[in-house]
Amino acid sequence: MKPTAILEVKDLTFRYDLRKEEKTLSAVSFSADPGEWIAVVGDNGSGKSTLSRLLVGLIDPEHGTIKIDGCVLGEQSKWSLRQQVGIVFQNPENQFIGTTVQDDVAFGLENVNIPFQEMKERVEAALKLVDMLELRDKDPSQLSGGQKQRVAIAGILALQPKLILLDEAFVMLDPQSRRGLFSVLQNLRKKQGITIISITHDRNEAALADRIIVMEQGELIQVDKPSSVFAKQEKLDAPFAEQLRRNLKSCGRNVPETYMTEDELVEWLCK
């Protein structure tokens, strides 16, 4: 039996200036299941970040509905629903409140009245997941950009949301930190059923998702598996493995005709 969608978006439409006909988002519809990872890609101005702000109730749609765990997001429900949704922005400075790393991670838990002992356990577990436990007493302003982003992600993980929105959240991370956090989030969604919506320009990141949403000038033009999206959307830069396959093919090498993931390409090259 297909699981009940944790997120349902229907006919979402938005304009920043109601005096103009041009829409930032136009009739966008999609859903996300528990434990699913969806990447949202598109050029600048395609509506990606506007979509993320709508999904957490920072702005209100002109038309359309957003349902989170079966409940319609609106003025009366947004405060309770925000406890089920966490968002991590590109710039972690926007999310720091506490004077130490652990205080900052605990801030959201204090707002929802989590008991002290449970709060302490959640903060420690979240910092351990992002490899920041040893820096728990540090002033966040003294951290590197990548470390700040890991603390911001820990603050969201401590809240144990059902849905996490990553708005270009890995841009400031070095490749090793990025791979580590990908692994953490993949395990969390598999073990705890956390749904992840990733707004990204990184095609290699998008290729790891279960499905990709392609946005263009405020419209959703395709929702499909990475293999189908990169096969059809020629304007999108392909992930590294697919670029290599195409280059090998253009050089006259006998390579498979279809899209390949990095693991699939490595396996084929080792044969």
Going by the DSSP 8-state scheme, the letter that residue 3 receives in this structure is: P
The model's pTM is 0.85
| pLDDT tens column, 206-264 | 988 999 999 999 999 999 999 889 888 777 777 888 888 888 888 878 888 778 777 78
CB atoms within 10 A of CB 99: 12
| pLDDT tens column, 86-137 | 888 877 776 677 789 999 999 888 888 899 999 999 999 999 988 899 999 9
Q: What does the alpha-carbon distance between residue 25 and residue 30 come to, in Å, rounded to a whole number?
A: 13
Q: What does the alpha-carbon distance between residue 210 and residue 192 come to, in Å, rounded to a whole number?
A: 16
Q: Which residues contact 125 (CB under 8 A, 6 or more apart)?
A: 158
Q: Is residue 161 within 8 Å of residue 86, measured between CB atoms? A: yes
| pLDDT classification of 182: cutoffs 50, 70, 90 | confident
Q: Which residues contact 23 (CB under 8 A, 6 or more apart)?
A: 13, 14, 15, 62, 218
Q: What does the alpha-carbon distance between residue 108 and residue 195 come to, in Å, rounded to a whole number?
A: 19
The CATH superfamily holding the domain 7-233 is: P-loop containing nucleotide triphosphate hydrolases (3.40.50.300)
Burial tier of 27 (Cβ tally within 10 Å: 0-12, 13-18, 19+): middle
* pLDDT given at position 255: 81
Radius of gyration of the chain (CA): 20
Q: Residue 95 is encoded by which pair of tokens?
A: 């999310």
For the chain, residues classed under CATH 3.40.50.300 are: 7-233
Going by the DSSP 8-state scheme, the letter that residue 71 receives in this structure is: E
Q: Tokens 């990169």: give the residue.
A: 230
Q: For residue 88, which of 159, 156, 186 has the smallest C-alpha distance?
A: 156
